[in-house]
Amino acid sequence: MIRFSTLLTRAAAAIMLGSTLLLAGCHFGGTKGVTTASMQGQFDATIQAYKEGQFVVDGAVLSAVDLGSHFAYLKDQGKLPKTVLLQNGDDSKIRKIHLQYMARLQLDYGFRTYYDNKGTLTEINPQDTKARALQDHQERAPTPDAPPPQDHTPGAQQY
């Protein structure tokens, strides 16, 4: 059985610890997030978030259902994008509802969706985002000051 001296064992342990720290120091901060501005031209489609869960595609404001119809049309034409970039709009920023709608579309049509998360490019994960069913744009609820609806059909009694 070979015995190493205590000094040699301690020196080998110190060298291993030093090399581990050196490798950890080189790796720290080595992978930085990719900025959206540098990758914008690499996507097949770019969509902007708009107010109240709506989207802007090629200058047109679309609800989530209309955006789904748009992607269905592109799928029928054989032009469905493989990657989609969701950006902040001119007047609004990306909200949770935008991410949930895009996660639903990602599940339905199989493309990958990325969004601008404070300048860093982030992929939407449909399981973590909890994809939501697509809905049309919802109008605001009527105010309580509004008069009740009137029935104008023949034979309706009016008080």
Residue range(s) defining the domain that contains residue 121: 36-129
Tokens of 78: 């054989």
Confirm whether 52 is domain-assigned: yes
State the average pLDDT over residues 49-66: 88
**What is the predicted pLDDT for the residue at 124?**
85
Confirm whether 21 is domain-assigned: no
Confirm whether 94 is domain-assigned: yes
Query: Among 55, 63, 44, which Cα is nearest to 133's?
Result: 63
Confirm whether 59 is domain-assigned: yes
**Residues of the chain above pLDDT 90, percent:** 4
Confirm whether 158 is domain-assigned: no
State the average pLDDT over residues 55-84: 90
Q: 122 - beta bridge partners?
A: 115
| Tally of domains in the chain | 1
State the average pLDDT over residues 44-70: 88
Per-residue pLDDT band for 73 (boundaries 50, 70, 90) equals very high
Q: 117 - beta bridge partners?
A: 120
Confirm whether 1 is domain-assigned: no
Confirm whether 91 is domain-assigned: yes
Contact criterion met (CB below 8 Å) for 89 and 50: yes
Threshold 0.75, pTM exceeds: no
Residues 6+ apart with CB under 8 A from 105: 64, 67, 68, 71, 111, 113, 134
